[in-house]
Amino acid sequence: MTDSPAGDLKPSFRSDVTVELVKHSAADSDVLFAARVSTLGEQSLDELKKDPERSKGLINFLMRDRHGSPFEHNSMTFFISAPIFVFREFMRHRVGWSYNEESGRYSELQPVFYVPDESRKLVQEGRPGKYVFVEGTQAQQELVGRVMDDSYVRAYEAYQEMLAAGVAREVARSVLPVGLYSSMYATCNARSLMHFLGLRTQHELAKVPSFPQREIEMVGEKMEAEWAQLMPLTYAAFNTNGRVAP
Ligand SMILES: Cc1cc2nc3c(=O)[nH]c(=O)nc-3n(C[C@H](O)[C@H](O)[C@H](O)COP(=O)(O)OP(=O)(O)OC[C@H]3O[C@@H](n4cnc5c(N)ncnc54)[C@H](O)[C@@H]3O)c2cc1C
C-alpha cells in the first residue's frame, strides 16, 4: 500500500460485503392481510393472528400456486456496500426494486477495493453454460492478491493526480476499476427479493438451479438472513416450494 500523491487517502482492501437492513415494514401478517381481502373484505391484523396453522397453510398455498401479489405489500430497505461489478449485476433487477447509489460526480470516491480471500474459488473449468469453479493454486492466489493490489493503487493514484490538477471528479473517475466499493440503498418487497434470491443464490432446495457470481451471492445470503427473521412463514414456504418466486 502507498500514499496517494494528492492526499493522505490510503487504499484499503476488503474481501467481504456489507448488508444492513436499515428500514422495514414486513411481516407474514402483511401477506395474509392482502390475501384475505379476496374472501373476507377488510379485517383487523389481530384477527389474522388467531389461527396460526391456517395462516401457515394459506401462505404455503399462495406460494405453491404462485399467487404473487399478496407478497408485495411490504417493504425492506437495505444499505449495501460491495464492489461496483456486483452493483452492475444487481441493478439488472428492475421490477419491485428502488435504488439510490453514492455519486462519483458529487463526492470523491474512497479507495476501498475488492480482493478475494482464500475461500473464493479462482479457476473456472468447463464451457459456458456448463462449468464449475475450483480452488486456485497457491501461486494463483498470490498472483491475484499482488496484481490486484498493485493495479488498484496505480489506478487510485491516477485518479488523485487528476483531482489535484483540478480535473472534475466525474471525468477523473474513468480510471477507477470495477473492484472499487460503492454503496447504495436498495428497497424491495418479499416478492422481488424472492425473485432475486432464486437467481442470485445457489441452494440445495432450489428447483431451478442458478449459477450466480459468488460476490453477488454473498450479498444475497445476507439479505436472505435478514428477511428470514422478518417473515419466517413466507421464508419457509419459499424454501418448501423450491425457491421459485410466486
Ligand atoms: C447467472 C446469471 C447470469 C447472467 N448473465 C448475464 C449476461 O451474460 N448478460 C446479461 O446482459 N445479463 C445477464 N444476467 C442478467 C439477467 O439476464 C437478468 O437481467 C437479471 O437476472 C434480472 O432478472 P429479471 O429480468 O428476471 O429481473 P427483473 O428485472 O426484476 O424482472 C422481474 C420479472 O419481471 C418480468 N419483466 C421485467 N421486465 C420485463 C420486460 N421488459 N418484458 C417482459 N417481462 C419483464 C420478467 O418476468 C422478469 O423475470 C445474468 C443473470 C444471472 C442470474
When pLDDT is cut at 50, 70 and 90, the band that residue 42 belongs to is low
The answer to whether the CB of 61 is under 6 A from ligand 1 is no
Residue 203: inside a domain: yes
Give mean pLDDT, residues 91-105: 98
Residue 40: inside a domain: yes
Q: Is 119 annotated as a binding residue?
A: no
| CATH number of the CATH domain containing 17 | 3.30.1360.170
The answer to whether the CB of 195 is under 6 A from ligand 1 is yes
What does pTM read for this prediction?
A: 0.93
What are the pLDDT digits (tens) for 202-229? 999 999 999 999 999 999 999 999 999 9
How many CB atoms sit inside 10 A of residue 244's CB? 15
Residue 153: inside a domain: no
The answer to whether the CB of 136 is under 6 A from ligand 1 is no
Q: What is the predicted pLDDT for the residue at 52?
A: 79
Q: What is the predicted pLDDT for the residue at 3?
A: 40
Q: Is 169 annotated as a binding residue?
A: no
Residue 7: inside a domain: no
Residue 165: inside a domain: no
Q: Which domain holds residue 223?
A: 12-116+178-240
Domains: count for the chain? 1
Residue 145: inside a domain: no
Distance in angstroms (rounded) separating the CA atoms of residues 7 and 13 = 18
Rounded mean pLDDT of the chain? 93
Q: Does the CA dihedral 169-172-173-179 come out positive or negative?
A: negative
Provide the percentage of residues in the chain whose pLDDT is more than 90. Answer: 85
Q: Is 92 annotated as a binding residue?
A: yes
What are the pLDDT digits (tens) for 229-246? 999 999 999 999 999 999
Residue 108: inside a domain: yes
Q: What is the predicted pLDDT for the residue at 131?
A: 86
Provide the percentage of residues in the chain whose pLDDT is more than 70. Answer: 92
Active site residue ranges: 200
The answer to whether the CB of 68 is under 6 A from ligand 1 is no
Give mean pLDDT, residues 166-189: 98
Top mutation candidate among 72, 90, 91, 95 for ligand 1, by most atoms within 8 Å of CB: 95
Give mean pLDDT, residues 18-28: 98
Residue 22: inside a domain: yes
